[in-house]
Amino acid sequence: MDWDSVYTGIVAQGFDMKDMPSSNRVWGTWLKEQGLERRFLRLDCPDCYTVKDFCEEHPKGRYIVALVEHVVAVVDGDYYDTWDSGDEAPQYYWEVE
């Protein structure tokens, strides 16, 4: 999907839910409605595992990785963000099939 379609869809979801589009429950609900499944990470040390670690363990595929208050795109083992979030701790992720 292009950026405009995703943005419009998430904003409409926020409107329907009476919450901000950046709310985890809003964009998470929208992703679920698009057919994506949320997956949780099983971590022995949640503060030790980072976005960089996630990328190393997922060298192929496209993912949306949720941090505490932020999300980052991971594509084929590289993360894409507006800032360097590589040392942040992921909470869960969505795989884009």
Q: Smallest Cα–Cα separation from 93: which of 28, 34, 7?
A: 28
75, β-bridge pairs: 62, 78
For residues 26 and 49, state if they share a domain.
Answer: no
For residues 88 and 69, state if they share a domain.
Answer: yes
For residues 53 and 71, state if they share a domain.
Answer: yes
d(CA 89, CA 50): 5
pLDDT of residue 32: 95
pLDDT tens digit sequence for 3-60: 999 999 999 999 999 999 999 999 999 999 999 999 998 778 877 899 999 999 999 9
Six-digit token pair at 26?
């809003």
For residues 64 and 52, state if they share a domain.
Answer: yes
Q: For residue 34, how far is the Cα from the chain centroid?
A: 14
Residue with tokens 């057919």: 35
Number of domains comprising the chain = 2
pTM of the model: 0.86
For residues 62 and 86, state if they share a domain.
Answer: yes
Range(s) of the domain holding residue 7: 1-35
Specify whether the CB–CB gap between 45 and 53 falls below 8 A. Answer: no
